[in-house]
Amino acid sequence: MSKRIDVGDLNIYYGDFLAVEGVSMEIEARSVTAFIGPSGCGKSTFLRALNRMHEVIPGARVQGKVMLDGEDLYAYGVDPVNVRRQIGMVFQRPNPFPTMSVRDNVLAGLKLNSKRMSRSEADEVAERSLRGANLWNEVKDRLDKPGAGLSGGQQQRLCIARAIAVQPEVLLMDEPCSALDPISTLAIEDLIGELKQNYTIVIVTHNMQQAARVSDRTAFFNIAGTGKPGKLIEMDDTTKIFTKPGVKATEDYVSGRFG
């Protein structure tokens, strides 16, 4: 499991509007890469372009290359459904399926794709995924209760369990802790540390301490002004970005002198 991603000169458009311009980067396998930057600078848009989720928005399109272990995700004839099966995603707000139980939520990725499983196989996948998301001990007695009845932090870990149940190569996280309290945030940060042994993780965050705590490499995005495209300013080892960044704007941003 886990593959690397290479992005080559990627432009992302919403209709005629250029939202993100000229991003190139390498994302190592089995590492945590954090995207930081001010609101509206295109971090989330870029993240969603990594598993073709941005296509859900009408008019969105990209130019450039995104290679998953050497395979271009945007090559002619690539099915976005297959891309998303390899590159999972966790969203800002926890979004368990309200009609499903905790167990069914975890198995949703498999069940919705009509994968045939025996009962014991399904139980095994559910337990493994929930353990992987550090949620098993809290929900093992209420697997058949609705997933929407869990607390916010538990719901978010349930969504992570759901994402890893399909065993993706890469896990994208779009501000996974922004709706959570510090304790749940800590639980998820611990989890990210464990998950990186098996998965390639990319996380968007507004919390710079979080980026410093969890990531190996950090990418700083910025925007020149409203209506201008977002750009990748700098990407380096996390310690370097937070101690002696190469660009003045990065230093201003991480030291809080920005805006």
In order, the DSSP letters of 113-159 are TT----HHHHHHHHHHHHHHTT-HHHHTT-TTSBGGGS-HHHHHHHH
Q: Does 170 bind another protein (CB under 8 A)?
A: no
Asked if residue 112 binds another protein (CB under 8 A), the reply is yes
Q: Is 67 exposed, middle or buried (CB count within 10 Å of its CB: 0-12, 13-18, 19+)?
A: middle
Residue 108 contacts another protein per CB under 8 A: yes
> With binding defined as CB under 8 A, does residue 15 bind another protein?
no
Number of residues that bind another protein (CB under 8 A): 35
Q: Which of 16, 39, 76, 81 binds another protein (CB under 8 A)?
A: 81
Looking at residues 220 to 249 of the shown chain, list those that interact with another protein (rule: CB under 8 A).
none
CA dihedral 108, 113, 119, 120 (to 10 degrees): -80
88 lines the binding site for another protein (CB under 8 A): yes
Write the DSSP assignment of 21-81 as a string of letters: EEEEEEE-TT-EEEEE--TTSSHHHHHHHTTTGGGGSTTEEEEEEEEETTEETTSTT--HH
The burial class, CB within 10 Å (0-12 / 13-18 / 19+), for 195 is: buried
Q: How many other CB atoms are found less than 10 A from the CB of residue 95?
A: 16
> Could you tell me the smallest distance in angstroms from the CB atom of residue 83 to another protein?
8
- Whole-number Å distance between alpha carbons of 50 and 8: 12
In the complex, what is the shortest distance from the CB of residue 157 to another protein, in angstroms, rounded to a whole number?
14
Pick the piece of the chain touching another protein (CB under 8 A) from 2-10, 13-21, 92-100, 196-204.
92-100
Site for another protein in 133-152 (CB under 8 A): 142, 145-146, 148-149
In the set 33, 44, 51, 218, which binds another protein (CB under 8 A)?
Answer: 51
Rank residues 139 and 223 by Cβ distance to another protein and give the closer one: 139
Contact between 77 and another protein (CB under 8 A)? no
- Least separation in angstroms between residue 110's CB and another protein is 9
Residues that bind another protein (CB under 8 A): 51, 53, 56, 58, 81-86, 88-91, 93, 95-99, 108-109, 111-114, 142, 145-146, 148-149, 159, 162-163, 166
